[in-house]
Copies of this chain bind each other. A is one copy, B any other.
Amino acid sequence: MLYAEFMSTSLPPLPPPEEPMGEPELLEIGLAEEEPCLRADAARNRARLLEAAGRLVAEHGAAGVTMEAVAAAASVGKGTVFRRFGDRTGLLTALLDHSARQLQADLIGGPPPLGPGAPSVERLRAFGAAVLRRSAEQLDLQLAAQPEPARKLDHPTVRVLTSHVTYLLRDLVPDADCELQAQALMGFLDPAVVHHLHKRCGMSLDRLESGWIDLVARVTGTGRPA
C-alpha cells in the first residue's frame, strides 16, 4: 500500500473508512485546510491576529495570550478572533501550524532518515527525536494549545503523526495490532509527558531520546542500534 493511500484511508473520521481512494499528491492531509479564499479584510485581520498573538506569546508566554488581549493588540473586535479561529485552542494551534506543516513535509518528502529512503526502524527513531526536539522548543505553546483531553487525539495534526507511526509499524511488526502499539509510542511523545519528565523531573532531552530509541527497539523487537 502506498504511503499516501495509507494516510488518506487511515485518517478520515472515526469509523475506519473503506473507500480505496485514488491518488497521492495530497501532502497536507491533516492540517486545517486553507480557508479557500478569504475576503480581503478577513485575510488582513487574520494576519494581524496571528502577528499579535505571536508577539504576546513572546512577551508573556502562552498563558498571557488572552482572547481579548489578542483582539485588542490586533485592533480588532473579539468576535473576529473567534470567527476566524473558532476558539483559543484554534488560535494557538494556528500559531503552531507552520512547524507542524514543516514536520509533516519532512516526514513525507524530506531527506532520510526522517523521510522515505531509510529503513522503517531508523525512520521511527528519527521521528521520535524530531518530535521530541520540536516539543521541547515550543513546550508552553504545545501545552496551552491542547484541547480538552476528550478531543486531543481527534485533532487532525495528531492523527497524521499517529498514522505515520502506524504505517511504519506495519512494516516492522506486521503481526501486531499496530494501531494500538502506535498509540502507545505516541503517548511517550505527548507534550504533557515531555513537560513532566524534562521540566518537572529534570531529565535531559538526551535521556528522553535514548528512552525513545529503547522503547522503539523493544516494541519492534529489533535490537538496539549499533
Name A residues whose Cβ lies closer than 8 Å to a Cβ of B: 14-16, 143, 146, 148-150, 152-154, 176-177, 179-181, 183-188, 190-193, 195-197, 200-203, 207-208, 210-211, 214-215, 218-219, 221
Contact = CB atoms under 8 A, between A and B. Distances in A.
Contacts of A200: 14, 153-154
B187 A190 contact: yes
A137 B184 CA distance: 21
Contact of A177 (B186, B191, B211): B211
Contacts of A184: 184-185, 187-188, 211, 215
B197 A180 contact: yes
A66 to B, nearest CB: 16
Contact of A176 (B195, B201, B214, B219): B214
16 contacts: A149-B191, A149-B195, A154-B196, A154-B200, A177-B210, A177-B214, A179-B197, A180-B197, A180-B203, A180-B211, A180-B214, A181-B215, A181-B218, A183-B196, A184-B215, A219-B219
Contacts of A148: 143
A197 B181 CA distance: 12
